[in-house]
Each structure stands twice: as C-alpha cells, then as structure tokens.
A and B are shown apart, each in its own frame.
Chain A
Amino acid sequence: DTGVSQDPRHKITKRGQNVTFRCDPISEHNRLYWYRQTLGQGPEFLTYFQNEAQLEKSRLLSDRFSAERPKGSFSTLEIQRTEQGDSAMYLCASSLSSGRAGANVLTFGAGSRLTVL
C-alpha cells in the first residue's frame, strides 16, 4: 500500500482560473476527507465522503469549491474562479470508519500546495 496520494503537489495559477486536485486514498478505506491548511494554522475541515456519499461540508466551503468521489475511490476537489485567499495547502486524508464512536485515525497525504497569483 502506497498510502494517500495527492496530485499535483504544487499548483501555481492566476486569479480567476479553475484548479482541480486529485486524491487517491488507501484502497480499503471507506472515508475520504479534504482539509485546508494555511501558514501557522492547523488543518481546517472542508468536507468528507463515506464511500461515494458526501456526508458533511464545512461552512468554509464556498460555492466555488466542489468535491466529488464518483465511485467511492479517488476524489477530486475543484476550485473555480480562484482568489488569492485560496492560496493554501490542500490536504486529503482517508480512514476506515464504522461510524461508531472511536478514534477515527486519519491517514493524510502530503498535500497539494496552491499558490494564486
């Protein structure tokens, strides 16, 4: 198992352009999470999927952001009409969760760093 893979690792774009990030989770994991991290802050939750269903979205996730997990495997996070405030590290994580109480240990990828000029 190669862990959680994210692509691209770094994306530089101009304001107003659309960008898409891809995440390949650990294959047996049923949950997939997207977080955003800016300098000096901890990861902030954006959204998560259980299999192909998107179960929760943060209020941080404006309508310019959309995430999909079409077949319950890989996921994409698209940001439309990027703004300079979108510059951040976008982290993907996966876990095997039954939905019951438990530690729900997330395994993170290395992240995709977005720079909006």
Chain B
Amino acid sequence: DQQVKQNSPSLSVQEGRISILNCDYTNSMFDYFLWYKKYPAEGPTFLISISSIKDKNEDGRFTVFLNKSAKHLSLHIVPSQPGDSAVYFCAGTEYGNKLVFGAGTILRVKS
C-alpha cells in the first residue's frame, strides 16, 4: 500500500521562478510531514517539516502547505535556484515513528 504518493516524477523550472512539488497521502494517522532533498551519491537531507495541526510552515525560500481535508501537501520554493536541482521526497510519520516516503520528484532548475 502506497501511503505517500508523489505523482509527478519530474519538474523543470526556470531559475528565479517558483517550484511547486506536490504530495498526497492516504494514512490519516500521520501527524507530521517532512520534505527531504537528495543529491546524487548523497543521502537524503532534511529540508522542512509541518505538523498536521498547521496548514503552513515557512523557512526562508521554502514553504510547505498542508491541506488535511484533501490529504495533500505541497512544497514551494521561491525563487528557485540551480542549486535546488535534486530529487525531493515527501514523507509522513505517525507519532514520532518511522518515516514513510513517496517515490520522489526530480526538480531541474534551468539557468
């Protein structure tokens, strides 16, 4: 069962524009959601998280929005930079336990 889905395998954006990465989940018991970024030959690195009791969390150029009724979240990157080119994973967690990841979205930021 795929509890976390990232339906867009890839996204291409011009430098300076907004990148929007989407994520859907099915497990209503998730109480936190996290986004990770992964460069080739490196492990995933934590980017930003959001609690299920909030609908927005912002950290610099990165903002995560949560629509709990739709079981949907999105990561906005503004402005996008070439160094943001990476694979982005969405993950959900239930009561501080393991992370359940989506399949990832490859983001390419063109200069």
Contact = CB atoms under 8 A, between A and B. Distances in A.
Interface of A: 4, 33, 35, 40-45, 48, 56, 91, 93, 97-111
**B31, B34, B36, B98: most-surrounded residue (chain A CB, <10 A):** B98
A105 B100 CA distance: 12
A98 B97 CA distance: 10
Interface residues of B, number: 28
Given A42-B89, A43-B89, A101 B95 contact: yes
B27 to A, nearest CB: 13
B34 A103 contact: yes
Interface string B14-39: 00000000000000000110101000
Contact of A42 (B45, B46, B102): B102
B42 interface: yes
A112 to B, nearest CB: 10
Contact of A45 (B44, B95, B100): B100
B49 interface: yes
Contacts of B91: 42
A42 B98 contact: no
Interface in B37-93: 41-46, 49, 51, 89, 91, 93
